[in-house]
Amino acid sequence: MTRPQLLIDTDPGVDDALAILMAAAHADIAGLSIAAGNVGLGHTVRNARNLVDLIGMSTPVFAGCATPLVRAPDEDAAFVHGQDGFGDVGFPEPKALLSGEPAALALLRLTRERPGELTLVALAPLTNLALALRLDPTLPQRVARLVVMGGAVTGHGNTGRIPAEFNIGFDPEAAHVVFEAFPRFDLVDWEATLRHAFDDAEFDRWLARGDQRAEFFGRIVATARAYNAANDRAGLIAADALAMAVALDPSIVTRRETRAVAVELDGRLTRGATVVDWAARLGRPAQANIVLEVDHARFAAMVQRALGVPE
């Protein structure tokens, strides 16, 4: 099987890190475009460079927007991921360089150089993708697939605005632009993530048996695990890793529904919610393949390989 060819937009972030380790183990990565989100852009760029050092690849890193398109966000996710986004471990200054090219321009250039070849994997607020789309609305024609981690398709979100999931709620206008522009994309939402958490004891065994990647991940994930345990979230939750599994191998999906999905921009209590037309009442084109279930054993195998667990 030929290796998937990926372009990853990300805000590392602990679960972003696991997703990028998966990508490095199973695919070729054309570039990492970096968004603000989990923590500020300075941290997410630095964390991406640390990951490039860890995986020992020459993957280019492109910095994107430091803020959402329109409104300042209500919150970041430092309370889950740590103040620096990587569990406040205190890694040394990375060696990997930052490209001088802005993320949105890099997304456009790389997809022009390789039309139809790259799967775009969006693991962050969609600010960079929206900006790229505003500059060049033909972008969707040049990507093989778009996989988005975002949303909460029945309103069980994970932010201060109850139905909003973090990536969409951080920059709803950007998500609106992307959801309107792409005629088809895979949507891996927060609710699917919760259904696909890993058993804590099993995950600890993987961390103990893996290589330096497991050691690295074990250190950065500690803060997020403590937060989840204190907030009644069961198991090892890794939203971006689940989206990456779908990007790497779409045949892993065992249950999906294709529906029209829109983003609430104005709601007093619901701004950032992903509104799904489940009964197809509005006659709008159904653009989102909503991933409901994946083959959990295959997902687990992908994660173990990414952590260097011997087979």
Of 9, 84, 165, 171, the one binding ligand BDR (CB under 6 A) is 165
3-state secondary structure 113-144: HCCCCCEEEECCCCHHHHHHHHHCCCHHHHCC
Q: Which is nearer to ligand BDR, 77 or 252 (CB)?
A: 77
CA distances from 82 to 14, 44, 94, 137 (A): 9, 12, 18, 36
User: Angle between the 296-306 and 239-248 helix axes, to the nearest 10 degrees?
Assistant: 100
How many residues form the binding site for ligand BDR (CB under 6 A)? 14
User: Angle between the 212-220 and 14-26 helix axes, to the nearest 10 degrees?
Assistant: 160
**Residues 74-113 close enough to bind ligand BDR by CB under 6 A:** 77
In whole angstroms, what is the distance from residue 165 CA to residue 156 CA? 8
Of 6, 7, 9, 15, the one binding ligand BDR (CB under 6 A) is 15
The residues facing 148 across adjacent strands are 122, 187
Cα-Cα-Cα-Cα torsion 102, 106, 108, 110, nearest 10 degrees, comes to: 180
Does 128 interact with ligand BDR (rule: CB under 6 A)? no
In whole angstroms, what is the distance from residue 168 CA to residue 151 CA? 6
CB of 260 to Ca ion, least distance (A): 24
Of 16, 191, 249, 264, the one binding ligand BDR (CB under 6 A) is 16
Q: Which listed option, ligand BDR, Ca ion, none, makes contact with residue 189 (CB within 5 to 8 Å by class)? A: none
CB of 16 to ligand BDR, least distance (A): 5
Q: Which is nearer to Ca ion, 54 or 148 (CB)?
A: 148
Q: Which is nearer to ligand BDR, 165 or 264 (CB)?
A: 165
Q: Which listed option, ligand BDR, Ca ion, none, makes contact with residue 111 (CB within 5 to 8 Å by class)? A: none
Does 274 interact with ligand BDR (rule: CB under 6 A)? no
Element (H, E) at 293: strand 288-294
CA distances from 11 to 31, 35, 62, 240, 304 (A): 13, 5, 11, 10, 22
**Which range touches ligand BDR (CB under 6 A), out of 161-169, 172-180, 200-208, 277-285?**
161-169
CB of 166 to ligand BDR, least distance (A): 4
Tell me which residue has its CB nearest to ligand BDR.
166
In whole angstroms, what is the distance from residue 171 CA to residue 33 CA? 16
**Residues 34-73 close enough to bind ligand BDR by CB under 6 A:** 38
Strands 5-10 and 261-263: unpaired
Which positions touch Ca ion (CB under 5 A)?
Answer: 11, 13, 16, 123-124, 240
Q: Which is nearer to Ca ion, 132 or 188 (CB)?
A: 188
Q: Which is nearer to ligand BDR, 76 or 249 (CB)?
A: 76
What the block records as the tokens of 97 is 């360089």
Site residues, ligand BDR (CB under 6 A)? 13, 15-16, 38, 77, 123, 149, 158, 165-167, 190, 239-240
